[in-house]
Chain A
Amino acid sequence: MMNLEFPKLMSVGWSNRLIGTCSEGIDSEDGQLVFDLRRVEFLAPFGVTMLAATVLECLRQGKACSYRPPESEDTRKWMARIGFDALFLPNAEAALRTSSSVELRRFTDIDPNYVENLIEVMDHHLTLGDEDRAQITMYLVELMQNAKDHAHSDMGYFVCAQAYPKAGNLRISFVDVGKGIPTKLRTLKRYKQTRDDSHLLVQATHAGVTTREDRPGGMGLTFIRRYLRRSEGTLTLLSEKGKVAFQPKKIVQAPWKRVQRFPGTAVDIVMRPGD
């Protein structure tokens, strides 16, 4: 039995530690895994989607998964409310699909209804204007389209969103464990020799950079980045050994040698409605 101990803060800022633990579980040859969340006090959407994707990948590999809930009562209740417990039920996939929560969901296709529901829920916590609604729709639709077209993941992708009324922001996270962005970009001749995954993630946000062969593309991430910058938001991309945070005034690229490898892609968005 392998015990995977998760850190106190499960947010994008602690991604290295979090991804390290998740990768340990995915790569492990042990058939029985325990997701130990006792120390966890704060879970951002990034942490939830990353954890959910890891659990499902381990289940898919035929490993028996169980978890030790957080000692913090608030965190424990929150996890139950968003449907995280459903992952560990015997019929996990079915349970997750029928979950009424719009906060943590798994998809294999683009679902415009989910986008509308999510906006309604977020509007309940933060007052959203027409522009905010349109922007959220755009981010979600583009990320869903990317995950569907490029990730080629059997288990689809996870989405989680959470409004933070006190901070006045909204976090949306996407995770898939399919093909990563750097692997896909290296199929293009001009990026074949590029070693730095973070550099490739930056390139992926440039207009017209795409691996689509049948039609033009390469606009989704470009526009997410552009519109988030206009509204003082942040876009963080993690894929394989790359991690880049597109902040309103600067781009923070993590040195690829120090980044824990994540076999897939994670996108974390922080937006400030009304700005």
Chain B
Amino acid sequence: MKETDEQLVSAYLRGNDNALKELIERYTAPIFNFVYRSGIHTETADVTQEIFLKAWKNIKKFNIQKSSLKTWLYIIARTTSIDFMRKRKEITFSDMEEHSSDRAFSDTIIDIAPLVTEVIDRLESKNLLNEALSKLPQNYQTVLTLHYHEEMTFEEIGLVLNKPLNTVKSWHQRAIIKLRQIVIDN
């Protein structure tokens, strides 16, 4: 039976190196994809490596009571990616902080659901996803990637982004609307 992430962390802390190797193999592809989708297209592998090194250095601080290992890894991935882009001056503070509305998701989701099917059809037929995502603000990209690619819940995404649940839901909704606009304009 496949061991859980948390079992692997415990095994590594007890001295089993293979457990850490297994964790690295398990998360390399999704973290690499996340970094790429965060807008780092040239040094994706280096940033991915840095994320795992940071995780390894801080693995004793990992607290299962606070979050799952997956969420914890994505928190490190996000902060590392932001630091990298700030160093490269590809991201500004306002990119991260704007658009933080706390409007309830349930108030607005009804408006977007029918629109999305139309967007998906276009994205699929024109193979536009990566291009359209790159035109979205950073936080919107992150929400969509974590939710649809990594299948994380909005609560988990809230932990990664350090934002309240309603803000994440609101960003998700706005991201979909913006995505739709980009697809229509294209």
Report whether chain A binds chain B: no
B residues near A (Cβ < 8 Å) are none
A residues near B (Cβ < 8 Å) are none
